[in-house]
Every structure is written in structure tokens, then in C-alpha cells.
Structure 1
């Protein structure tokens, strides 16, 4: 390119020199120079016009013929255009394949721009969400999905967990929404039809609730007779007396299991949480500490630490059950001589209830599954302690009803901390428990 520029400067110099030489004998050297510059300018304008005509009217044809700097410029532009056309063709082919594969999906796919406006969707989205290409393209997604839960989910920008809602066009169609951020703050909204899974889950819940309810009466009758026979143990043969004691223990365990199943079923089917009252965390933790000390029988050191002055808004019965489950688990599994602390302290803008122990700890491998029903880290030891395997599942659902979340920190041999984190909206000035107006 440097050689072409030098040649161009030589050409300009030659035209100016020739003009000066031609005009010098007649005393018009300046005029000759002006004529030489005019010829050079005419040449440049002619090539510029050829470039404009080519780019405007015939961009896909061969470039105009030219030499020197202009010829090199035409050739470079032509090669650049060919490369751009090839890249665009590949992008179109890729986009076409993506759209074809999306069309083949049974799940709804909706592409949003950075403002949340709908740019493209597949045919499944038209069936599930009722989108119409002629009217909805360019509309904001919340103009279609007006459910407050979806609007909050969309604006929260925390898409780690999916959202389950009814279809906006068919209440019998249950959809699971998942949003993914990509590109320049753009979003991909996917909706999956989980109606069948939802119905199966509801059938399971109904079955567990019904069976648990039906078991309460025979268990109550059985426990009553066993208590009567237990009072008459001295009148019975020794071998039979031992059997009655074991039956009483297992009946009590079965009753606890049924009660936990009924509580869990109620929590799963009722997400209202309308029985909120102002709770004094100090009184709550002290009550749980006394219950845990009775269970411990002096084998553990239990303490209460209150570092947050604000109170908590929620269901006193459910929160008492939550903290009790965590404290009783610590008593059962931390090991004798362990120190257990029930703590209420600030956490960001909100606050958290903690149950911390310095006991045996939990292998981090088990932590993601601890809130599953009947999941046990050590099946033999858990059975011996009399646990039902539903405590942490109940904790999880109670916290969901209170807009809170459960965090578990533990290492083997380093104790465990179970942390119930409540948002600022759930906090209130400390006051005696009373019904909300």
C-alpha cells in the first residue's frame, strides 16, 4: 500500500510539473499548475463516482476496472463484501437451523430483547401462551403474562428456580417457566407443560393426606389400649410386659410420623400464610430451648443469643415447629457434650434464625438432599433416635410460606449451622404477639 501511495504522489507531481512546464514559455506557469491539479482532481472524482455507482447500484457485481490506489481499494472492498456475504449466509443458515429446531420442540420458546419485548417465538408458544404474530410481536412480555407472580419473577432477575403457573389462555394447563439471560441483557423464556406431573403430584399429596388421616383413628385406639395394658404391666407376664413397652414406643413413633405427614400435606396445599402475627424471637427461642433441654436430658449445652432488636412477622405455630425441628435435630445428631446455640441476628437487610452446633457435622455431599422427605444421612442412627425423616421438609415448606430460605453450612467434624433467612418485609418492631390488623 505504501508503494501505491508513493506512485500516487508521483502522479500528482508529474501532472503539476507538466502543467508548469507547458505554461512557462507563455508566462502562465501558475495556470499550468492549476490545470494539472484540475486534471488530477477530475480523475479522483471520476473514480469516486465509479465507486459510488458500484456500491449503490451493482454491489454484487465485479468492481470497476482501475489501476493504482483506486484499483487496490476496489479489490479490497470487493473481497470484504464477499467475506461479509459469506458470514451473513452462514449466520442466516445457523439462525434458520435454530428456528427449525425450536419449532420441533414441544416446549415454548420466546426470545426477548434487552427491554423485555418479544422478538420471536415458536409455534408451541402460540399454542400454550396464545401468542399471535400479527399483534404480539414487539409487545412487552408482561403485557401477555400479567400474573403478579410472573411479573415479580421477571423483574427479580433471579432465575435459579423455575416458576409454575397456569397458562394465560387455559387454566387447566400447568406450565413451568424458566428464564435465561444471554447476550446484551436479552432473555430466553421457556415454558414446559407439566400438567400431567402436576396432577400426579397432587394425587400423591391427596393419597398421603387421606391415608395419614385414616391412620389417626386406629392409632389412637391402639395407643389407648396399650396405655391401659401398660398400667397393668405388673399383672402381666414379664415377657408380655416388655412387648407392650415396645409396642407403645413404636405406636408413638407412628403417631409422630402421621402428624408430620399431615402437617407437611397442609403446608404443601396451603401457601397462604394469612395467619401472620408479630412474634418476639427471644420468647420463641427460649421456648424451643426449654423443649430441647427436656429432650437432651442434660447431655448438651443449649444457649440463646439475640443480636437483632426487630421482631418477626409470621405464623407462631409454624415458626415454632421450624426452630424446634432444627433444635431437636441438633440434640439428636450433634453428639453428647455438644454446644448448641439458638441465635436471632441481622442478615443483610433482613435477619435470620440460626441453630448452630459444634458437633459431628455433616458431609457436604448430603446437604443438597437434606430437605427431601425421608432422606437420612445415617439410616441406622436416625431410626434409633426416633426421627420421622420429615423435619427438614417441613422446615423448607414453612420458610417458603414466609418468603424465607434455608441455608446449611457444615463440614465433618466442624459442626453444622442451619440458617433461616427472612427478608426485610418479614421484620417488624418488637412487640408482644398480637393479631395483625
Structure 2
């Protein structure tokens, strides 16, 4: 097409030059004839440009192009064909968008599109039910102005969307919603919201059941263990054949008491999102106390337990909860590290926050078990847990305590070469000096 245009333009210029030359031969004024001819051609070209501009400014692809001749006729027709082609493509895209919007509007889950700054761009009808969004007045407003829950503001500000967030609905406190956020395009956000009220109620019933049963069992178990202790204190008055049975009963009773205590602690941790206490905790002194307890637990096994703690880094939170989590990690290291083994405890801070690592030279853990270690009652080896007196709840307690203190747990281990448990805390929880 370009070659045809070039050829037509050259032919037009040659015809114009020939006509001007003939007129110049007749009149004898070659300069004026060429000037008049060129001016006439420029005026005609300008008129065609003005016609093109007037047609394009109508912004209606359905309007046919103006009549043209030669080169300009080809230009008008080509532009018109491009417009029609673009119109068909836009029609197909609009049909796809309409189908997506219709199908999305039919979803029971809410779908919300946010721009790079978190402002509302589009949402379906379910978002109006679950989040209370109103069309069109909420368009362009920040999502944090409409979903005002503090946990959502922290979640969105952190920009860490690996795990979903569960909060009460802004419309109804009795509704529980779960939010999934995904980044796409130019750092825009797609938010999916589900109604998980029924699942939340079932989970709450499970928690209440465990907490109530644990509480009800605590009293009779305390009575039984108390009488067993009294009997064993007077073992010389008993028939020797009952001594072993009473000792085993006392041992198993102690394990049951430890299990109930862990269940009650988990129930307490799950009851609220944040610890009641938020005072700075001297972690170095806390770890020193735990290290002394671990040394006593190690007894005659000659394990080398070392502590390296930065005295200038403290942590906001509950000292009792942190003691429970940190002691679980250290005591586990003592239990699963062989005699003459080494355990290293380190507490330090950097620009990312504060960190605690507990490294041992124990038996290690196979990689396939690592993702499930913090699940309740999950045991790598049930027989091993029985030998060491574990309840299967220690790392679950650690996980919940860290979540309440804006922390997370990393586990690295190689079977036969030991394990390292590292707690990472965000900067907001750290107090220096």
C-alpha cells in the first residue's frame, strides 16, 4: 500500500509539473505558472486535510468517510477500515468484560478491585452485602476508610498477603469474613472476601469444647494425682507389688496434667488476638532463667548449653507467654539432643527487628515433617514423644504466642545433624536501650 501511495504521489507531481510547463510555454511566465500550480495543489491538499479532521472529530466509527479522489480517497478508506476493525476488536473485548462482570456478580464471594494506593475501583454485589460498599459513592475511596478493623489496616499496610485474614464484617459483627489479597498488574490489588461464619462457629465450638473438657478434667485429675502422691509418700506401708503400679499411675497422671495445662494455655491464647500485657520484656534475663532451668533438666547428661543475648534489645509483650514459648523451644532441644551434645541460644536485633535462635546438635528432623511441626498433636515419632513425655502441643503454643507478638517461626533441620528454631519479631515489637 505504501508503494502504491508513493507511485500515485509521484504521478500527481509529474502531472502538475507537466501542466505548469505547458502553461508556462503558452504564457511565457514559467515561474508564475509553477507558483500558481503549486499553490493550487497545496490549497487542495489543505482542504482534504480539513475534511479529514472534520470527519475524525465526529468520533463516530459508523459515519462513512468523505468522498475522496486518488491518494486522499485511499487515505480515507484506509482510516475507515482501521476504525471498523478497531470497533470490532473493542466490541469483542467489551463482550468479554461484560461476561466476566456478569459471572463475577453472580458469585457469593465478594470480589473487589483496588488500585496501587488501595482505592476502590470496582466490586460485585456480594461486596455490598459482606463489606457494605455502596455504588457509586464509594468508588475511588481508600478501602481502609470502609473496612476499619485495626487488624485489616495492619494487614494491608504490611503488604504480606501469604496468609488470609479473618475479621468481623463491617456490616454485621456476627458475620465473620475471610479476606484474600493478591497483587497483579502495576501493583494493583484484587481482594476476595468469603463468608466463613459457619466455619468460625464450628471452630469456636471446638475450642469451647476442648477448654471446658480440659477445665472439668483438671479437678478430678488433681485429686487422683494428690492421693497417688500421698500413697507413694507412704510406700513402706504398702504391699511392694503395688509400688510399680502406683508409680506408673503417677507418671501417666503427670502427663495428663501437662496435656491439660497445654490445652488450657492454647485456649487462653486463642481467646484474644493480642496479649493483655504489652510492657517491654528483658529477654536476656528471661533467657538466662530458661537456660538455668534447661541445665537442671539436662542433669547428668553433660550437655553444653550456651547463651548469647543482646542486653540492649527488649521485646514488647507478655513475659509469661514469651517464657512459655521460649522454654518450649529450649526444653525440646534438651530432650532431643543426645548426651554430650551442644545447644546454642542466641538473641539479637538488627534493622529488620529482633531474633531468637535455638540450635542443637540433636537427632534432627526429616524435611517432610517440617511444614506440619506446629500442628496440634503432630508428632514426628509417637514412640519418641512418649519416651520424652511430650504432649504434641509445644510448637503449637510457640506458633500462637509468636502470632500474638507479631512474630513468625522458621525451622531448619537435617536428619542426624541437628535443628535450628528461629523466631523473628517485627520492628514494632522491639524496644532498644
Task: Please give the range of the TM-score, normalised by the shorter of the 2 chains.
Answer: over 0.9
Query: Which one of 253, 256, 261 corresponds to residue 255 of structure 2?
Result: 253
Greater alpha carbon shift after TM alignment, 123-132 vs 65-74: 65-74
* Structure 1 residue ranges, 4+ long, deviating more than 6 angstroms after superposition: none
SS in 2 for 1:253: helix
Contact preservation (8 Å) 2:164, 2:179: yes
Question: Where does residue 333 of structure 2 map in the other structure?
Answer: 330
Question: Where does residue 2 of structure 1 map in the other structure?
Answer: 3
Question: Where does residue 32 of structure 2 map in the other structure?
Answer: 31
Question: Where does residue 264 of structure 2 map in the other structure?
Answer: 262
SS in 2 for 1:135: coil
SS in 2 for 1:298: helix
Query: Which one of 310, 313, 317 corresponds to residue 313 of structure 2?
Result: 310
Shift in Å at residue 59 of structure 1? Answer: 2.5
SS in 1 for 2:368: coil
Greater alpha carbon shift after TM alignment, 62-71 vs 10-19: 62-71
Shift in Å at residue 22 of structure 1? Answer: 0.8
Shift in Å at residue 101 of structure 1? Answer: 1.6
Pairwise CA RMSD of aligned residues? 2.1
Contact preservation (8 Å) 1:8, 1:68: no
Superposed CA offset, 1:30-55 (max 9, x none): 11102221232233234324433443
Contact preservation (8 Å) 2:61, 2:84: no
Equivalences for 1:358-437 in 2 at 5 Å?
A: 358-430=361-433
Question: Where does residue 433 of structure 1 map in the other structure?
Answer: none
Shift in Å at residue 66 of structure 1? Answer: 4.6
Shift in Å at residue 68 of structure 1? Answer: 4.9
SS in 1 for 2:17: helix
Matches of 1:83 and 1:387, distance apart in 2: 72
Q: Structure 2 unaligned segments of length 5 or more: list them.
A: none
Alpha-carbon spacing, 1:113–1:350, altered in 2? closer, same or farther (3 Å): closer
Question: Where does residue 322 of structure 2 map in the other structure?
Answer: 319
Contact preservation (8 Å) 2:121, 2:140: yes
Alpha-carbon spacing, 1:127–1:276, altered in 2? closer, same or farther (3 Å): closer
Question: Where does residue 170 of structure 2 map in the other structure?
Answer: 168
Greater alpha carbon shift after TM alignment, 76-85 vs 264-273: 76-85
Question: Where does residue 139 of structure 1 map in the other structure?
Answer: 141
Shift in Å at residue 308 of structure 1? Answer: 5.9
Superposed CA offset, 1:187-219 (max 9, x none): 112211111111111111111111111111111
Question: Where does residue 228 of structure 1 map in the other structure?
Answer: 230
Contact preservation (8 Å) 2:55, 2:65: yes
Superposed CA offset, 1:196-251 (max 9, x none): 11111111111111111111111111111111221233333333211111101000
Contact preservation (8 Å) 1:8, 1:69: yes
Question: Where does residue 41 of structure 1 map in the other structure?
Answer: 42
Question: Where does residue 19 of structure 1 map in the other structure?
Answer: 20
Matches of 1:65 and 1:278, distance apart in 2: 83
Superposed CA offset, 1:267-296 (max 9, x none): 110333232333322222221112112222
Shift in Å at residue 92 of structure 1? Answer: 1.1
Q: Structure 1 unaligned segments of length 5 or more: list them.
A: 431-437
Contact preservation (8 Å) 2:20, 2:34: yes
Greater alpha carbon shift after TM alignment, 328-337 vs 239-248: 328-337
Greater alpha carbon shift after TM alignment, 369-378 vs 405-414: 405-414
SS in 1 for 2:160: coil
Matches of 2:374 and 2:350, distance apart in 1: 22
Contact preservation (8 Å) 1:112, 1:120: yes
2:328 counterpart of 1:354: no
Aligned length: 430
Alpha-carbon spacing, 1:155–1:313, altered in 2? closer, same or farther (3 Å): closer
Question: Where does residue 121 of structure 2 map in the other structure?
Answer: 119
Matches of 1:180 and 1:412, distance apart in 2: 36
2:184 counterpart of 1:182: yes
Question: Where does residue 77 of structure 1 map in the other structure?
Answer: 79
Contact preservation (8 Å) 1:12, 1:37: no
Contact preservation (8 Å) 1:162, 1:178: yes
Greater alpha carbon shift after TM alignment, 97-106 vs 305-314: 305-314
Shift in Å at residue 386 of structure 1? Answer: 0.4
Shift in Å at residue 355 of structure 1? Answer: 0.7
Matches of 1:47 and 1:212, distance apart in 2: 91
